[in-house]
Amino acid sequence: MEEKKGMPLLGDDFPKMTVQTTHGMKNLPDDYDGKWFVLFSHPADFTPVCTTEFVAFQQRYDKFRALNTELIGLSVDQVFAHIKWEEWIKDNMNVEIQFPIIADTGKVADILGLIHPGKGTNTVRAVFIVDAKGKIRIIFYYPQELGRNMDEILRSVEGMQVSDKNKVAMPANWPNNEILKDRVIVPPATSNEMVKDRLAKAKAGEHECYDWWLCHKELKK
């Protein structure tokens, strides 16, 4: 495992590490080469908010997989605790957790900046969205008191993939934006020539513009 070089930032390579999980040893991010993955930490096993989160993630697992995205949980707990907690969830919630959970000794939490002293000694509810090339694209941090919105995490993965594929930006609350609905934003012009090009394409019907710096278009299916 690499030495800590400071908390990772957007656009950084996900730190290379070998971790113990409920699905055996895994090498991150190499074992997920060609796939996106969402690594999320939770404060502890056998806790109420975390239990609701794992059920919610599992219920959306097929939707994540449809986006070529895997899920990986993590907390500073032994693998035996993870396995027993999974059994409890299956027995009491009738939900089988199918994605791996990292049994961290504290090393991964240290590298990823998951323990915030002002919020206690357990890991915060962090989310790292990593693309198919092992680049960190999105980072979320939640306090221990607030459970995550899994639909927002799912939307974030889809939005970044659509952005990459189409070279566009996504408006607020996409695909249900209050102004543009499910339309996407054309990157703003950065030169006089691009301004002319944006306006010419608007006249040709390739996209619509409120002004040269705010153009939008329908996403081709």
Q: CA angle, 112 as apex, 102 and 24 as ends, to 5°? A: 20
More confident residue, 43 or 63: 63
Most confident listed range (64-68, 73-77, 188-192): 64-68
Overall pTM > 0.95: no
pLDDT at 7: 79
Structural domain spans, the chain: 17-149, 167-221
Just list the catalytic residues: 50
Q: Judge: domain 17-149, CATH 3.40.30.10.
A: yes
- pLDDT-derived band at 2, boundaries 50, 70, 90: very low
Class of domain 167-221: alpha beta
Q: pLDDT tens across 133-189, in order?
A: 999 999 999 988 899 999 999 999 999 999 999 999 999 999 999 999 999 999 888
- pLDDT-derived band at 94, boundaries 50, 70, 90: very high
Write out the DSSP string of 8-71: --TTSBPPPEEEEETTEEEEETGGGTTSEEEEEE-S-SS-HHHHHHHHHHHHTHHHHHHTTEEE
- pLDDT-derived band at 216, boundaries 50, 70, 90: very high
Mean pLDDT for 208-220 is 91
pLDDT at 4: 45
